[in-house]
Amino acid sequence: MNPNSVITKAMNFAAQKHADQRRKGAKQEPYFNHVAEVAWLLAEHTGGQDAELIAAGLLHDTIEDTATTHAELVREFGQNIADIVMEVSDDKSLPKQERKRLQVEHAPHKSDKARLVKIADKTANLRAILESPPDGWGEERKREYFIWAKAVVDGCRGLNQGLEDGFDTLYKRGMSAFTPKI
């Protein structure tokens, strides 16, 4: 499959899988906006040269947040893309705190492409919290999320300075906004 076809197929697949989902933020934007932003960040910071990576960015939440299976992704997009998505998917049978702990612990051991997807995902999440935070999230909860996201990203560093700098800029902005002033 040519690179443009795999990206547009992944875009269509993700749009269909996430069609009924909304972001948790006050704006309640379509969930697809999140996966599109992750894919854009990956394309922007890698020169758009890796169609598998961009497709994985579009698909990164399909196993975790929809009824999509790894086997379905293999059939539709091939082993490489399916494996990247699987690498970045949490096991939803585990308690939330355990999933978060495992993301930090496993981040340094992921493949390079999975680590890039993680950085882009956390960057998009920080932006969403800054621009349209979930209802009921106070300053402390936002701050805790930022600290946790940084711990995940710190385990993914060393692959793409531009992507890392983008994360760091949002992290600093959030920490400045969410840290109590003395």
pTM: 0.96
Confidence grade of residue 160 (pLDDT, cut at 50, 70, 90): very high
- pLDDT digit string, tens, across residues 31-41: 999 999 999 99
Whether the predicted pLDDT of 74 surpasses 90: yes
Looking from the CA of 70 toward its CB, the CA atoms found within 13 Å total 11
Catalytic residue among 65, 72, 90, 168: 65
**All residues at 6 or more sequence positions from 54 whose CB lies less than 8 Å from its CB, including other chains:** 7, 10, 39, 42, 43, 48
Please state the domain count of the chain. 1
Residue 64 appears among annotated catalytic residues:
yes
- pLDDT digit string, tens, across residues 130-157: 999 998 999 999 999 999 999 999 999 9
Token pair of 160 as six digits = 């793409």
- pLDDT digit string, tens, across residues 90-119: 999 999 999 999 999 999 999 999 999 999
* 30 DSSP β-pair partners: 22
Catalytic residue among 29, 44, 50, 64: 64
CATH classification at residue 112: 1.10.3210.10
What is the domain range of residue 68? 3-178
Closest alpha carbon to 72 in 86, 57, 88 = 86
- pLDDT digit string, tens, across residues 78-89: 999 999 999 999
Confidence grade of residue 179 (pLDDT, cut at 50, 70, 90): confident
